[in-house]
Amino acid sequence: KAGVTQTPRYLIKTRGQQVTLSCSPISGHRSVSWYQQTPGQGLQFLFEYFSETQRNKGNFPGRFSGRQFSNSRSEMNVSTLELGDSALYLCASSSTGTSYAMQETQYFGPGTRLLVL
Amino acid sequence: SQQGEEDPQALSIQEGENATMNCSYKTSINNLQWYRQNSGRGLVHLILIRSNEREKHSGRLRVTLDTSKKSSSLLITASRAADTASYFCATGMDSNYQLIWGAGTKLIIKP
């Protein structure tokens, strides 16, 4: 099976702009989670989608949003970009269907590196 | 605050030596996982160990879990240059649907 794919791999934006990142999970995986990774804060959970519904959400402002499509592909949107949003954004999928899917083995994509100038 | 804390933060050893890194956590867990990340890329799952398990092996990797001490260790035997990476532990708890991640151990294997 193909792994988790993320597009684009690199992105440069300026403050105030918005950005949309895309993630395609492993075929058959319905749980998709998003993480932000920075040197200072480490790996921070953004949200999880399952069957097109946001099932869990981390402590990020409303500028961060996402959605999931019927084919389980997911997008993440960040509006009104700030310098502090510069990070590696990782998407992960899981085959488990339970509410604790995120606690099972996560399969990560290569990430999208976002630089906000 | 982070649930899992890795120790040491950085480790540099010669190729062929064994590498041991530790993870401590604060509250009861359902499971603990170890992941590897190469130079700012995606994370790769290594091993998942459940709270009722004490030891698991996968190739050159051995993970132990001591729930009484709330700690886990990852041993990489006969290290190779390709093992150079950051290693993260992540814990799953009843009180939280998500995994809680540690800050990672940066491992450098010198040729």
Q: What is the DSSP string of B67-105?
A: TTTTEEEEEE-S--GGG-EEEEEEEEETTEEEEEE---E
Q: Give the Cα separation of B34 and B91 in Å (integer).
A: 9
Bridge partners (DSSP) listed for residue A71: none
B38 touches chain A (CB under 8 A): no
Q: How far is CA B18 from the centre of its chain?
A: 14
Angle made by CA atoms B60, B42, A15, in degrees to the nearest 5: 155
In chain B, % of residues over pLDDT 70 = 96
pLDDT digits (tens, 9 = 90+) for A15-48: 999 999 999 999 999 999 999 999 888 899 999 9
Cβ–Cβ under 8 Å, residues B95 and B104: no
Nearest-CB residue to A105 (from B45, B102, B104): B45
Nearest-CB residue to A102 (from B40, B45, B98): B98
| Shortest CA gap A44–chain B (Å) | 8
Q: What DSSP character marks residue A100?
A: T
Range A83-97 average pLDDT? 92
Residue B40 has pLDDT above 90, yes or no: no
| Shortest CA gap B19–chain A (Å) | 22
pLDDT at B1: 44
Residues of B in contact with A108 (CB under 8 A): 35, 42-45
Residues A43, A49, A55, A59, Cα dihedral to 10°: 30
Q: Give the Cα separation of B61 and B75 in Å (integer).
A: 6
Amino acid making up residue B12? S
Among B83, B89, B104, B106, which Cα is nearest to B11's?
Answer: B106
Q: How far is CA A105 from the centre of its chain?
A: 16
Q: Give the Cα separation of A55 and A68 in Å (integer).
A: 11
Residue of B nearest to A41 (CA): B103
Subunit contact A42:B102, Cβ cutoff 8 A: yes
Q: Is B108 exposed, middle or buried (0-12, 13-18, 19+ CB in 10 A)?
A: middle
Range A95-108 average pLDDT? 79
Nearest-CB residue to A100 (from B44, B97, B103): B97
